[in-house]
Structures are given as C-alpha cells and as structure tokens.
Structure 1
Amino acid sequence: MKKTLLAIALVLLSAMPSFAGSGELYLYIWSEYIPDEVVENFTKETGIKVHLSTYDSNEAMYAKIKLAGDGYDLIVPSSDYVSLMRQQGLLLPLNKAKLANFANLSPKFLNKSFDPENTYSVPYMWGSTSITVNTGMLGNGAVNSITDLWKPEMNGRLLLPNEPREAFALALMKLGYSINETDPAHLEEAYQELKKLIPMVRVFDSDSPKQALLAGEVMVGVVWNGEAFIVNQENPEFAYIYPPEGLSLWVDSLCIPKGAKNLDEAHAFLNYLMRPDVAATISTEMGYSTPNAAAMDLIPEAVRNNPIVYPSEEDMARGEFQDYLGETMKLYDEYWVKLKTD
C-alpha cells in the first residue's frame, strides 16, 4: 500500500510543471480584466501563486514600471505603450519556445507595427471604446453620434475615461481627424473642443465606469466595450452606440517588463492564457474580444454574436486602432493637464 501511495505521489509530482524560479508570479493588470477563476485554476494546475495588482490607466502603469524598475513579472499595456516601452528598453523579449499555444492566435493581431514579430508582446484582448446610453432614461434619439455629447442637455450626465488618448479621440473624430493625429494645429482644435466638453462631465472613471452608469449617476458614458457588455447584461436599456464619426479600437498585450524575476512562471502563465478554453472563458466573462482564433468556437453564441463584444465588419470599418504617437504624446499630456486643472 505504501509503495502504491508513493508511486501515485511521484506521478502527481511529475505532472506538475517544474520551475527554476520561486513559484510566484507578480501580475500588474487593468482593473477587472481577468476572471478570478482563471487565476485560481492556474494556481491549481501549476502550483504557482499569482499576486495580482491593478491599475486604471496606461500612464499609471508606465510610470510605476519606469520608476520602480522591478517588482512585476507581467504587465498588460495597450499597443501604443508596448511600442513606447519596447523602444525605451523596458520590456524583455519572449522565449517563444515556451509558448506552444502562441499558434492559437489569429494572424490578424500579430506582427503589428508596435511590436514586429511579437518579440515582446502577446495579444491578450482587443476591443472598442464608444458610447453607452441609458435609452430608458433618455430615449433612443438622444445620443446617436459623438457630436451629440456636446449637446447642452448632456451637461452633468456624462462619464469619460480618465485617459487623454480616449478623450482626444472623441474631439478628433468629431472634427474628422485621425485618433492618431500628430499635427499640432489639429490638436489645438481638439483641445478647444474638449474645453467645451470637459466642464459637462460629471464622472471621470477608467477603473469601473459601469458603477456610475448602473447607479444612475450618469446617463451617458464613453466606455470600453467590456464595461458596456456588463452594463447591458444588467440593464438591457443601455445601448452601445457605434457612431457615424468613427470609433477607437485597441489591443492590450501581455509583456514581461525588464527587471522581472520569475521568467519561467511568466511564460507558463502566458502559455496558459493562450489555451483556447481559457481564452474563451476570459472573453465570455469579461465581455471583451479575444484574439485567440482557436477559442472562438468555445465562446457561447450569445457572446460571439453580440455586437458589443464583436462588432460587425461595417462598424469595424469605421474604427481606427490606436498607434504610438512618439514625442507628440507630450502635447496630449500637456493639454490634458490643462483641461483637468483649469
């Protein structure tokens, strides 16, 4: 009997991954961006304990990584910040030999300009930023375009992300410009438009904007589609609008920051997240779109066919993905500080 138990124990131990590191993983990720069960199941399967910290903006994440230098093994920057951090030497190259599930990803989201050949990043989720409207309170015709946000009756009813790129995207699209605009004259025009809009905003929230919407604190919110999905699930009278002027699209990626100490654990978690069943669970629960092609058939039809989560080709055609802006981002930040403090 003792021999049998010993044999079973040896088999179980051999089935567990072997790690040269500490068996710990420090994940720095957007708020409410990964299901608890995904993290818990990873720990059950591997024995690796995940320490999770959150942020509510790329700027906050970037500042902490640049200042601290270490302390985290995985981060989740958006595409423009992948490019910035890659160019500044703040990311470590991935060991693709440890990422067998990388083959599950759709080529549509690979080898992009912000990280050619995905040397430093693995796409985690993608989605849109657009307008959610409480049609039960305002009716169907109150907000159908970006321009409608500037209506006087929207004063005190608006929520915006606490992010300069997303706020400027609204003004730039209203003016007919690219959300990746670098022309100072066009940015000045957008700034002037935002000077009219910002005083009308009741709440700035990039952390959990759904709370203010569901509580009735605001009637209209410019939010990420995952937040809109959850709001709509709880109250179907909230509509997610793809305006005629266009919409902002984005990709968030997983990266290993320079100074990470638990590289084996980081690669194990990356590979786990690219498993089709895991990617499907994340998309289904979070309401964001997965770049994992192998996961699509595992996502329930109600989510896979929900236009909030997966926009139509027609709506996607009006969208524009955020690119890295280089030195111009300083101008965005300067204007943003003025808008928030004047």
Structure 2
Amino acid sequence: MKKLVLAGLMTATLAGCGSQEEPRVLNLYNWSEYMPREVLDRFEEETGIQVIYTTYDSNEAMYARLKLLEGSGDYDLAVPSTYYVNKMRKEGLLEKIDHSKIEGFDNLDPELVNQAFDENNAYSVPYLWGTTGLAYDSEDLDGDKVTAWADLWNDEYQGRVMLTNDMREVFHIGLRVLGYSGNSTNPDEIEQAYEKLSELMPAVRTFNSDAPRMPYLEGETDIGMIWNGEAVMGKDDMPSLEYVYPEEGTIVWLDSFVIPKNAENADAAHQFISFVMQPEISALISEDIGYATPNLAARELLPDEVANDRSSYPTAEDLTNAEFQEDVGDDAMQVYTRYWERLKSGR
C-alpha cells in the first residue's frame, strides 16, 4: 500500500511539473541605446514577459543576421529603418502585423503611416523618426564654418572627422555634395560618390554607429555625422556639442517595429508594440533618448524644452532639401556594397 501511495505522489508531482507554463519571453533585436531600460522593466513588471535585448549597429548587420536565421524564430521583434522594411517585406522575412492586437495605432502621425515602403502598415509599426546631420564641438571649431556636408572636406579637419558606420548614410553625403539624390540608383553617380568620399578618408578618424556621440565626448573627433538623438544625449554631457542641418539636405529616416518570419512569441511582440504606443511610454522614450516620436498624443505630454528642441523636432525650414531614405533595389545595393567595401578597406 505504501508503494502505491508513493507511486501516486510521484505521478502527481511529475504531472504538476509538466503542467507548469514555460516563462514567457520576448526576443527584441534593436539598435544600441535605443530603448530605455525603464521601459523594458515596466513592460516586464506589467506583463510578466521577460525581454531578452540584443543589439546591432547598422541595418546591414541586422538584415544579415535575420537573413542568416531566416524562419528560425530566434527573434520576435526588430527595428529596421525605412527602406529595409520594404526590402525585408519583399524577401518574405516578415510576418504581417495583426492590427486587431495593436492598441493606439490611431495616435500615430498620419504623415508617417501608410508609406510607400509598407502600404497600410501591413508589416510595420512606426517607433521613432529622426535625422542624420552634422555635429561639431563649438569649443574647438568655428560654427560659422560648419553649415554643409561639403565642409567635412575642409583641410583643417584632417584626422578629426567621424562618420557613422552606415553605408547608405555615408554615400548619401557623397551623393548630395555632388548634387545627386541620396537615393541614387545610377552606378555612375554612386562611383562618383565613392571617388568623392575617397578624398575625405584621410580626414576620417573613426566610424561609429554604436554610440556616435562618444567620439565627440571623448575628444577623439571634433566634427562629422551624428544622429539627432545622439546629439541631444551628447549635449547633456558636453554643452559645446552642436547639431546642424546641412545645407545640401539632411537625411530623414523612420524606424519601425517588425515581426520576423516565424517568430516564436508573436503575441508578446504585439503586446510590446501596444505597450510602447501608450502616450506616456512614447513620451518617456522621446524625452530619454532624444528622438522624435510619431505618436501625436505622446507629443502633447512632452515638456516644452523637449518639444521645442529643434535637434529632436526639426522645423519645416530645417527639413529643406531633406530626403527620406528609400529602398534602391538589389542591383543598386550591390553597387553600393562593392564601393563601401573598397572605401572601408582603403582600396
């Protein structure tokens, strides 16, 4: 009889162990320093879903990783920039967004939804938008001389220039200085941009897309490219760091949430998107990391010093000649990639 009782207890115990739910997890693949820790902590507390946060420093790195792991389900949520949403959508790398599971979508700026790269936002939900412009240290450089991308070629900046480690962004400035569109698909124009950028390379001290403000803060560079949010964060520690909208036109981009194909935790991904789209959370993110929120309800909650900061929220004049980055297609991307590799290797 004791053996039967013991066997019964063991069976019940094993059955109880088997019925325990697996911990709920969200694997978020995002840019470095692009989501406040407070937001992740609050999401975990409110939902019980653990966030595993992995980072990348360029769209190319993100895309290569997801392409390599295509359909594996390793990531539940990623944050590509404008043109990569289109590229990944066309290649079947994304799941459709279930809008019935998303709350707060109506709060998004109408000018930033239903874009050509993803009509009706079938595969993406806007997260943040911003610009890539010029930065300089006003303690070391005369600000009157820093007004355009072309100024980077000034001889006095030899060895003091920083570029983002982003192929399309770097080629954008070469193309715009030559008078071409930053979205050019013309191989001859791309080659000319490569030649122009090759002339700049002796002045380039570093490429940085992990935290582009740091080379300025650490005194490694005095002038170069920067993302507007990085400029805002950098100015908190270095008041002399100034952000400039170049005369040739700044780069404008929109980063969006997407769900990779066969994501194991797609429901958690939808929950996280809805959580971030709460006006209070979107406002917290914009204030904390300096980028513009597409959430109109969140903008109303921002302090005046944030809402009126031109670095984060540019005026119409600031966006004169600005260009959104677009998908240039596989053929042009191969041309860009070939010349980018030559540029980086010094060949």
Measured against the shorter chain, the TM-score band is over 0.9
Counterpart of 1:59, as a letter, is: E
- Structure 2 partner of 1:219: 222
Question: How big is each residue's C-alpha offset from its partner over 1:201-231, in whole Å with a ceiling of 9 and x where there is no partner?
Answer: 1010000121110111100120110111111
For the residue of structure 2 that corresponds to 1:315, the secondary structure is: coil
Following the alignment from structure 1 to structure 2, what is the Cα–Cα distance between the partners of residues 141 and 297? 34
> Which residue does 1:149 correspond to in 2?
152
Quickly say closer, same or farther: Cα 1:280–1:21, change in 2 above 3 A: farther
Is residue 22–residue 262 contact of structure 1 (8 Å, CA) maintained in 2? no
The residue that corresponds to 2:42 in the other structure is 41
Is residue 75–residue 254 contact of structure 1 (8 Å, CA) maintained in 2? yes
Q: 88, 113, 116: which one pairs with 2:116?
A: 113
Matched residue, 2:130: 127
For 1:298, what is the secondary structure of its paired residue?
coil
Instruction: Specify whether residues 186 and 49 from structure 1 end up closer, same or farther in structure 2 by C-alpha distance, changes over 3 A only.
Output: same
Q: Is the counterpart of residue 290 in structure 1 residue 274 in structure 2?
A: no
1:334 counterpart = 2:338: yes
**How many Å apart are 1:264 and its aligned residue?**
1.1
Whole-angstrom distance in 1 between the partners of 2:338 and 2:98: 38
Structure 2 segments unaligned to the other structure (5+ residues) = 1-20
For residues 22 and 109 of structure 1, the distance between their equivalents in structure 2, rounded to whole angstroms, comes to 35
CA contact (8 A) 1:21 1:265 kept: no
Paired residue for 2:196?
193
The corresponding residue for 2:170 is: 167
Show CA shifts across 1:248-285 (max 9, x none): 10000000000210011111001001110000000000
* Amino acid across the alignment from 1:64: R
Cα drift, residue 58 of structure 1: 0.5
Q: Which residue of 2 aligns with 1:228?
A: 231
Partner Cα distance (1:75, 1:21) in 2:
23
1:271 aligns with: 274
Give distance in 2, aligned partners of 1:237 and 1:139: 11
3-state SS of 1:136 partner: coil
Match of 1:158 among 152, 161, 165: 161
Residue-by-residue CA offset, 1:113-152 (whole Å, 9 max, x unaligned): 1100000000000000000010111122232211110011
1:103 CA displacement: 1.3
Residue 56 of structure 1: CA displacement? 0.2
Given that residues 232 and 311 in structure 2 are in contact (C-alpha distance below 8 angstroms), is that contact kept between their aligned partners in structure 1? yes
The structural deviation recorded for 1:27 is 0.1
Aligned-pair CA distance for 1:21: 7.9
Equivalent pair of 2:152/2:224 in contact (CA under 8 Å): no
2:242 counterpart of 1:209:
no
What is residue 18 of structure 2 aligned with on the other side? none
Once the two structures are TM-superposed, the CA of residue 22 in structure 1 deviates from its matched residue by 4.8
Are positions 1:53 and 2:57 aligned together?
Answer: no
The aligned residue for residue 68 of structure 2 is 67
Distance 2:228 2:150 in 1: 20
Q: Is the 8 A contact 2:132 2:228 kept in 1?
A: yes
Q: List gaps (5 residues or longer) in structure 1.
A: 1-19
Equivalent position of 1:13 in the other structure? none
Structure-2 separation of matches of 1:273 and 1:317: 30
Aligned to 1:7: none
TM-score (norm. length: structure 2)? 0.91
Would the aligned equivalents of 1:128 and 1:247 in 2 still touch at CA under 8 Å? yes
Partner Cα separation in structure 1 for residue 68 and residue 246 of structure 2: 39
Number of residue pairs the alignment of both structures matches: 323
1:29 and 2:30 matched:
yes
Q: In the aligned structure 2, how far is the partner of 1:22 from the partner of 1:322?
A: 39
CA contact (8 A) 1:21 1:263 kept: no
Identity over the aligned pairs, expressed in percent?
46
Q: 2:99 aligns with which of 91, 96, 109?
A: 96
Within 1, Cα distance between the matches of 2:324 and 2:141?
30
CA deviation string 1:137-181 (max 9, x = no partner): 112223221111001111110100111101111111111111101
1:19-75 Cα shifts (integer Å, max 9, x gaps): x98511000000000000000001111111100000000011101101112300000
Aligned equivalent of 2:309: 306
